[in-house]
Amino acid sequence: MGVIESMKAVLASPAPRSRPDDGSNGAYWCDDCDVRIRDVDLEGEPVCPDCGAAMRFERATGRDCAC
Protein backbone atom coordinates (compact mmCIF):
# COMPACT_ATOMS: atom_id res chain seq x y z
CA MET A 1 0.00 0.00 0.00
CA GLY A 2 1.41 3.37 -1.00
CA VAL A 3 1.43 6.61 0.94
CA ILE A 4 -1.61 7.96 -0.89
CA GLU A 5 -3.63 4.80 -0.23
CA SER A 6 -2.59 4.84 3.42
CA MET A 7 -3.71 8.46 3.82
CA LYS A 8 -7.03 7.69 2.12
CA ALA A 9 -7.57 4.75 4.48
CA VAL A 10 -6.84 6.90 7.54
CA LEU A 11 -9.13 9.69 6.42
CA ALA A 12 -11.93 7.27 5.52
CA SER A 13 -11.84 5.39 8.83
CA PRO A 14 -14.52 6.35 11.37
CA ALA A 15 -13.53 8.71 14.15
CA PRO A 16 -12.89 7.07 17.53
CA ARG A 17 -15.81 7.18 19.90
CA SER A 18 -15.30 9.55 22.74
CA ARG A 19 -15.98 8.48 26.30
CA PRO A 20 -19.32 9.48 27.71
CA ASP A 21 -19.21 12.43 30.08
CA ASP A 22 -19.62 10.78 33.47
CA GLY A 23 -18.45 13.81 35.44
CA SER A 24 -14.90 12.56 36.03
CA ASN A 25 -12.28 15.23 36.50
CA GLY A 26 -9.30 12.91 36.90
CA ALA A 27 -7.99 10.12 39.10
CA TYR A 28 -6.29 9.46 42.40
CA TRP A 29 -2.88 7.78 42.23
CA CYS A 30 -0.72 5.88 44.70
CA ASP A 31 2.86 6.55 43.65
CA ASP A 32 4.18 3.61 45.69
CA CYS A 33 1.85 0.94 44.30
CA ASP A 34 0.95 2.48 40.90
CA VAL A 35 -2.73 2.10 41.80
CA ARG A 36 -5.17 4.39 39.96
CA ILE A 37 -8.76 5.05 41.00
CA ARG A 38 -10.93 7.39 38.96
CA ASP A 39 -12.55 10.10 41.08
CA VAL A 40 -16.06 8.96 40.13
CA ASP A 41 -15.24 5.40 41.28
CA LEU A 42 -13.92 6.45 44.69
CA GLU A 43 -16.03 6.14 47.80
CA GLY A 44 -14.74 8.04 50.81
CA GLU A 45 -11.20 9.26 51.36
CA PRO A 46 -8.52 8.76 48.67
CA VAL A 47 -6.53 6.01 50.40
CA CYS A 48 -4.67 3.30 48.50
CA PRO A 49 -6.46 -0.04 48.86
CA ASP A 50 -3.12 -1.90 48.64
CA CYS A 51 -0.87 -0.02 51.08
CA GLY A 52 -3.17 2.43 52.90
CA ALA A 53 -1.16 5.53 51.89
CA ALA A 54 -2.82 8.78 50.89
CA MET A 55 -3.34 9.09 47.14
CA ARG A 56 -2.65 12.22 45.08
CA PHE A 57 -5.18 13.67 42.67
CA GLU A 58 -4.22 14.22 39.05
CA ARG A 59 -6.59 15.97 36.75
CA ALA A 60 -7.30 14.77 33.23
CA THR A 61 -7.02 17.41 30.53
CA GLY A 62 -9.14 16.17 27.67
CA ARG A 63 -7.68 12.67 27.58
CA ASP A 64 -9.12 9.32 28.62
CA CYS A 65 -6.87 9.09 31.63
CA ALA A 66 -4.97 11.32 33.97
CA CYS A 67 -1.60 9.98 32.88
pTM: 0.57
Residue 13 has pLDDT above 80, yes or no: no
Would you call 67 exposed, middle or buried from its count of C-beta atoms within 10 A (0-12, 13-18, 19+)?
A: exposed
Check if the beta carbon of residue 37 is closer than 8 Å to that of residue 28.
yes
Average pLDDT over residues 37-46: 91
Look at residues 26, 29, 23 and name the one whose alpha carbon lies nearest to residue 49: 29
Report the alpha-carbon distance of residue 5 to residue 10 in Å, rounded. 9
